[in-house]
Amino acid sequence: MQIFERLRIDSHEQLIFFREQFSGLKAIIAIHDTTLGPAIGGVRMWKYPSEDEAIEDVLRLSFAMTLKAAGAGVNFGGGQAVIIGDPKKQRSEALFRGVGRFIEGLGGRFIAAEDVGTTYEDMDYIRMETRYVVGIPSSRGGSGDPSPMCAYGVIRGIEACQEFRTGNDSLEGVKIAVQGVGKVGSAVVSMLIERGARVTIADIDPQAVEKIRNQYDVEVVSPDEIYSLDCDIFCPCALGGVINDQTIELLRCKVVAGAANNQLDKSRHGDLLDQKGIIYAPDYIINAGGLINVVDELEGYDQARAMRKTSAIKDVLLSILERSKAQRIPTWRAANELVMERIEKVARVRRSYLP
C-alpha cells in the first residue's frame, strides 16, 4: 500500500502506528478531519488477516466518523483506532491501558470510544491512562452502554422515513425486517414492538434469535431470507456492506433504515436503491445516537439532554429526504452535501485568528 497516496484519496490528516511489547499491543489510529474539533472514534479490536486490511479499515471508519459527527451536529472530527488481535483471546487490562497511554500522547487530537470487539469496561481501562475517552461505565460518571440511545436514534430515523413516505410517522402495523439482534438490534426490536410494528428478525447467532423470540412476538426467518421478505422497512443492524450486487436484487422493501455502519457496499448501490424507488436512510445519520450519547459525557453526562439531541435525528433525516426529492439526487448524496456544507462553513469561520 502507498500510504501517502491512500491518505490523499479521502484527505486524511494523520495515520499513527503503536506497538507495546509486553501486552502484545499492535494498534493504528487514523485522524481524518479536525475542522469541527478533535477527532472522535471507536477503538475496534479485530483479528485482521493482514496489516493492509487493518489500515484500510481504520481509514474507512475514520472518514465515516467525520460524516457522522458533522451530520449529528456535534463539534468533533472523525477518527478511528483499530487493535490488531483476537478480542476473545488477547484482551487484557495491560493492553487497553497501553492504548490509553498512546492516546494521551496525542494531546487530545483523538478521543476514543467503544466499538466492535471492545466494551465500555475496556474504555474504563483506557480511562486509567488518559482523559481522552468517552463511553465509560455509568458507575464512573459516564454514559455506560450507548446501544439503547443508538437504537432510539434508529427508531426516530425510521419514523422520519415513514412520515416522508406516508405522511404519518406511526409504526402501528408496519412490517419491519430487522437483520441482526445484537445489542443495538435487540433494543431496536424492543422499541418497534412498543410502537406496534410487526417485526421479523434474522441473525446468524441462533442463541440471539431464541432470546428475542422468547421475549417478544416476532417472526423468525433465516439470514438469507431476510433480504427478500415482503415488508415495509428493511432494518440492517449487523455488519456493513449488506446492500450489494447480490442482495439489492432481492429487496422487496420500500425503505432501508437501520443501525449498521457502511450499509452500502459501494456508493453506486445507493444510486441503485434510488432507481428502484427504495428510500435509503444514510447510515451515518440514522445511527448517530450512540455518538451523541457518548460525547455528552464531555459536558457532564445528562441522559435527558442526550435523548433530546438524539431525537433530532428525525428532523435531520427529513431535511435530507426533502433535499433528495427536490434535487432529484440519491439520499446518500444529499446527506454528504449537507455535512460537507457544515464543515466548509465552520472552516471559513475558523480562518479568523484568535490571540
181/230 same-domain check: yes
Which residue type occupies 36?
L
The pLDDT value given to residue 41: 96
Q: Is residue 347 part of a domain?
A: no
Distances, alpha carbon 91 to alpha carbons 29, 88, 132, 234, in Å: 18, 7, 20, 34
133/152 same-domain check: no
Q: Is residue 352 part of a domain?
A: no
Q: Is residue 353 part of a domain?
A: no
Across 18-35, average pLDDT: 96
> How many residues are recorded in the chain?
355
91/185 same-domain check: no
Q: Which three cell numbers stand for residue 115?
A: 466499538
| Whether pLDDT at 68 is above 80 | yes
The pLDDT value given to residue 136: 84
Q: How far apart are CA 128 and CA 137, in angstroms?
A: 13
293/164 same-domain check: yes
- pLDDT band (50, 70, 90) for residue 144: confident
Given 140, 173, 188, which residue is the final one in a domain? 140
| Whether pLDDT at 352 is above 90 | no
- pLDDT band (50, 70, 90) for residue 308: very high
119/264 same-domain check: no
175/112 same-domain check: no
User: What is the distance of C-alpha 194 from the center of its chain?
Assistant: 23
CATH classification of the domain holding 238 = 3.40.50.720
Instruction: Provide the β-strand partners of residue 286.
Output: none
Show Cβ contacts of residue 5 under 8 Å, excluding neighbours closer than 6 positions. Answer: none
Given 119, 140, 161, which residue is the final one in a domain? 140
| Whether pLDDT at 353 is above 80 | no
| Percent of the chain topping pLDDT 70 | 100
Q: How far apart are CA 257 and CA 78, in angstroms?
A: 22
List helix spans (H) across the chain. 3-9, 51-72, 93-105, 120-127, 147-166, 183-194, 206-215, 267-275, 283-286, 289-295, 303-311, 313-327, 331-349
- pLDDT band (50, 70, 90) for residue 141: confident
Q: Is residue 188 part of a domain?
A: yes
Q: Is residue 173 part of a domain?
A: yes
Across 135-164, average pLDDT: 91
- pLDDT band (50, 70, 90) for residue 143: confident
- pLDDT band (50, 70, 90) for residue 135: confident
Q: Is residue 222 part of a domain?
A: yes
Across 230-250, average pLDDT: 95
Identify the domain containing residue 208 by its residue range: 147-341
135/151 same-domain check: no
CATH classification of the domain holding 19 = 3.40.50.10860
Question: For the segment 193-213, what is each residue's pLDDT rounded down to a tens digit?
Answer: 999 999 999 999 999 999 999
Across 276-281, average pLDDT: 98
Pick 140 or 183 by higher pLDDT: 183
Show Cβ contacts of residue 254 under 8 Å, excluding neighbours closer than 6 positions. Answer: 165, 232, 233, 277, 278, 279
Residues 325-346 as b/e (b if ≥16 CB within 10 A, e otherwise) read eeeebbbbbbbbebbeeebeee
| Whether pLDDT at 119 is above 90 | no
166/130 same-domain check: no
164/282 same-domain check: yes
Q: Angle 313-327/331-349 helices, nearest 10 degrees? A: 110
Q: Is residue 349 part of a domain?
A: no
Q: How far apart are CA 317 and CA 239, in angstroms?
A: 22
245/275 same-domain check: yes
Q: How far apart are CA 28 and CA 192, in angstroms?
A: 37
Across 266-288, average pLDDT: 97
Pick 34 or 145 by higher pLDDT: 34
Tally of structural domains, the chain: 2
Give the pairing type, strands 77-84 and 25-33: antiparallel
Show Cβ contacts of residue 251 under 8 Å, excluding neighbours closer than 6 positions. Answer: 227, 228, 234, 243, 273, 276, 278
**What's the number of CA atoms in the CB half-sphere (13 Å) around residue 56?**
8
